[in-house]
Homo-oligomer: A and B are copies of this chain.
Amino acid sequence: MLRAVRIRPVNTPVTVPRLTTALSGPLPELERAILSATPVIEHWLRSQWQEHESPFYCSVDLRNSGFKIAPVDTNLFPGGFNNLNAEFQPLCVQAAMTALEKICPDARGAVLVPENHTRNQFYLQNVATLAKILRQAGMHVRIGSLIPEITAPTDVALPDGGKLTLEPLQRKGNRLFVGDFDPCVVILNNDLSAGIPAILRGVEQSLLPPLHAGWALRRKSNHFEAYREVAEEFAGLLGIDPWFINPYFEQCGRIDFRERKGEECLEGYVAEILDDVRAKYREYKIDAEPFVIVKADAGTYGMGIMTVKDPSEVRGLNRKQRNKMAVVKEGLQVQDVIVQEGVYTFEAVNDAVAEPVVYMIDHHVVGGFYRVHTSRGKDENLNAPGMHFAPLGFAAPCSSPDPDDPGCPPNRFYAYGVIARLALVAAALELERTAEALEEVEAPAQASVAE
């Protein structure tokens, strides 16, 4: 099904890292092509990290349809570190050490700025896990909250029996503090959906990731634009059709779902992408029904997402559907929308539909899990209430000395780690290119962008 692979296959039983996956069937051709090109791929990735600075951390939602593996969401403020297998902690610590050495060798203290959730116990457990990773990497760590009600150190109980101490983030001049603690680096785990708070603007300390990585300024279309370039270069390297790793997408601006403005743009692109995908399915003799995903260009948490199989569907939205699409997290109005080729997931955990999520710190794969949904279909967004997580574990090393053993599960995960790292390269490019947007809003330091 794939086009000829130019580079010759080599004997490399490779995984980064060794994980078990839910799949145990034969290794599809795409994964096999990726696996056999490992030295070429790793060499190419090394050269990317010579040229571009990796985001501090990242999680990537992937979909694997058997004929296609693609990133569908690249999160630069990953939650869910608590969902990683505890066995991965040393990998996380080592990668965090590598990141801190590069970014700020002198850093002794870090402040972690979380989302403004105090009731989401799972999220708070994620913050505690992140703090632990940074402490194990040798940092003093305190949690600096943006919540106005947090005016003094406040202990919050955690599901694992521990506690997390939230303290008010404070500013003196151009430096951020927590009490008398003056951190060298501020690590953001807040995606800034509500805008960039004044307290974070024009700060002297390094902010990781930078402010323009937040949804106040970030756009999915910039990311997938960069990913398209990365995927094309990578596909050229492997001699495969880039479509196998890159879903089609288009962007529609100035949409107003409530006022029914911009529906024509949506309908047009939905039709165009469905046609393009149908042509590819024909070319590769794939027997499946094309679908597209319509989602907010700036948004997260799986809100404002719908599955569409016919252009007419976006015209006839009822009130409830329109309201659902109109607003994402923190009441942010949806104005720009992307239409993206849908990728079926053919992974399942205990018969429930699943998609792999890969976690990275610096440019190292440090773990992952399956997002599982028992009441959703393989053509639907799984990041929705009712989902649960199945942590990936280390795989027992393959006993067979034959690296081409198609049933060897660690081999399968390697391909996921590669595609996730392509999305990470794209995120690095995206952040380079959008740095100017931040400069535009940085002054004056008093106002907040999303007010």
Among B13, B86, B94, B139, contact of A397 (Cβ-Cβ < 8 Å): B86
Chain B residues with CB under 8 Å of A188's CB are none
- Nearest CB in chain B: distance from A442 CB, A: 30
Interface size on A, residues (CB 8 A): 54
- B401-A161 in contact (CB<8A): yes
A66 at the interface (CB under 8 A from B): no
Cα distance A14–B87 when bound, in Å? 15
- Nearest CB in chain B: distance from A417 CB, A: 11
Cα distance A87–B395 when bound, in Å? 9
Residues in A370-414 with C-beta less than 8 Å from chain B: 394, 396-397, 399, 401
Cα distance A401–B45 when bound, in Å? 39
Question: What is the 8 Å Cβ interface bit string for chain A, positions 1-32, against chain B (1 contact, 0 not)?
Answer: 00000000011111111100000000000000
A436 at the interface (CB under 8 A from B): no
- A135-B90 in contact (CB<8A): no
A331 at the interface (CB under 8 A from B): no
Chain B residues with CB under 8 Å of A11's CB are 135
Chain B residues with CB under 8 Å of A364's CB are 94, 97
Known: A46-B101, A94-B94, A364-B97. A394 touches B87 (CB 8 A): yes
- Nearest CB in chain B: distance from A89 CB, A: 6
- B396-A86 in contact (CB<8A): yes
Chain B residues with CB under 8 Å of A43's CB are 106-108, 138
- B401-A42 in contact (CB<8A): no
- A136-B14 in contact (CB<8A): yes
- B17-A89 in contact (CB<8A): yes
Question: What is the 8 Å Cβ interface bit string for chain A, positions 213-244, against chain B (1 contact, 0 not)?
Answer: 00000000000000000000000000000000
- 17 residue pairs A–B, Cβ–Cβ below 8 Å: A10-B140, A12-B136, A13-B132, A16-B93, A17-B89, A17-B90, A18-B90, A39-B140, A42-B138, A46-B97, A46-B101, A46-B105, A46-B106, A50-B105, A86-B396, A94-B95, A98-B98
Which A residues contact B (CB, under 8 angstroms)?
A: 10-18, 38-43, 45-47, 49-50, 86-87, 89-91, 93-95, 97-98, 100-101, 105-109, 132, 135-140, 160-163, 364, 394, 396-397, 399, 401
